[in-house]
């Protein structure tokens, strides 16, 4: 039975690297894959999944209105899909997460989603909340805080490295905008920023 998986972590845990490795493993065994990534994330170029260690692959792009089930079912009619891999899964809509569950259940294609659990304010992304609610398997990938503890939070920082406590939930960025921290250091940095203001 195919399953819906959610691999989640803070920034810099190697989510995209793990996705690209899974893609390679399927293809190496002669299985077809289909990769997806959020259209709004163009850090690696439009329609590309890339990792900080230099791995990259072309991917289909989704927006909140993309009918994933229909697009994947159409592709499945053209070629047998062994696996579906989704990067930046936090940007999926709840409807799209249900579509992906249907892909696993009705089309019998394993669906591996990779993304952030929470935003820079410690709040769940809508796509992540839906995945945490209905995924068959939840797998936490580990990131490391500056203190050596497990990093679970994503601190947004400004150009000077100061914590940012307000703003839009979605702001694309990498190491220049976000720091993965344990909850204690995340809260310490937010308190320090509030005191300095």
Q: Report yes or no on 175 lying in a domain.
A: no
Q: Report yes or no on 86 lying in a domain.
A: yes
Q: Report yes or no on 161 lying in a domain.
A: no
Distance CA 4, CA 11 (A): 22
Q: Report yes or no on 23 lying in a domain.
A: yes
CA 10 → CA 76, 93, 149, distances in Å? 32, 20, 12
Q: How many alpha carbons lie under 13 Å from residue 179 in its C-beta half-sphere?
A: 20
What tens digit of pLDDT does each residue of 50-79 get?
A: 777 777 788 999 999 999 999 999 999 999
Q: Report yes or no on 109 lying in a domain.
A: yes
By the 10 Å C-beta count (0-12 exposed, 13-18 middle, 19+ buried), 189 is classed as buried
**Sequence-ordered list of residues with C-beta below 8 angstroms from that of 146, at least 6 positions apart, any chain:** 179, 181, 185
- Which stretches of the chain drop beneath a pLDDT of 50? none
The total number of structural domains in the chain stands at 1
Domain of residue 82 covers: 4-142
Q: What is the predicted pLDDT for the residue at 149? A: 93
Q: What is the predicted pLDDT for the residue at 176? A: 63
Would you please indicate which residues are annotated as catalytic (active-site) residues?
88
Distance CA 92, CA 66 (A): 9
Q: Are strands 178-181 and 153-156 parallel, antiparallel or unpaired?
A: antiparallel
Q: Report yes or no on 91 lying in a domain.
A: yes
Q: What is the predicted pLDDT for the residue at 99? A: 97
Q: Report yes or no on 184 lying in a domain.
A: no
Closest Cα partner for 128 from 118, 120, 137? 118
CA 27 → CA 30, 84, 161, distances in Å? 5, 12, 41
Domain harbouring 18, CATH code: 3.40.50.300
Q: Report yes or no on 98 lying in a domain.
A: yes
């Amino acid at each position: 039975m195919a399953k819906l998986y959610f691999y989640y972590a803070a920034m810099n845990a190697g989510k995209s690297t793990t996705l690209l490795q899974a893609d390679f493993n399927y293809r190496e065994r002669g299985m077809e894959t289909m990769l997806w990534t959020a259209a709004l994330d163009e850090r690696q170029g439009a329609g590309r999944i890339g990792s900080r260690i230099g791995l990259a692959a072309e991917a289909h792009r989704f927006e909140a209105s993309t009918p994933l089930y229909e697009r994947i079912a159409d592709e499945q009619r053209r070629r047998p899909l062994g696996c579906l891999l989704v990067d930046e899964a936090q940007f999926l809509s709840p409807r799209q997460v249900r579509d992906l569950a249907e892909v696993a259940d009705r089309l019998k294609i394993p669906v591996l989603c990779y993304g952030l659990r929470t935003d820079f304010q410690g709040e769940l992304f809508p796509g992540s909340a839906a995945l945490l609610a209905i995924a068959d398997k939840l797998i936490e990938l580990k990131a490391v805080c500056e203190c050596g503890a497990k990093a679970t939070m994503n601190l947004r920082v400004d150009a000077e490295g100061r914590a940012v406590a307000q703003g839009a939930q979605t702001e694309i960025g990498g190491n220049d905008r976000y720091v993965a921290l344990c909850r204690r250091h995340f809260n310490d940095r937010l308190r320090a920023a509030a005191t300095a203001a």
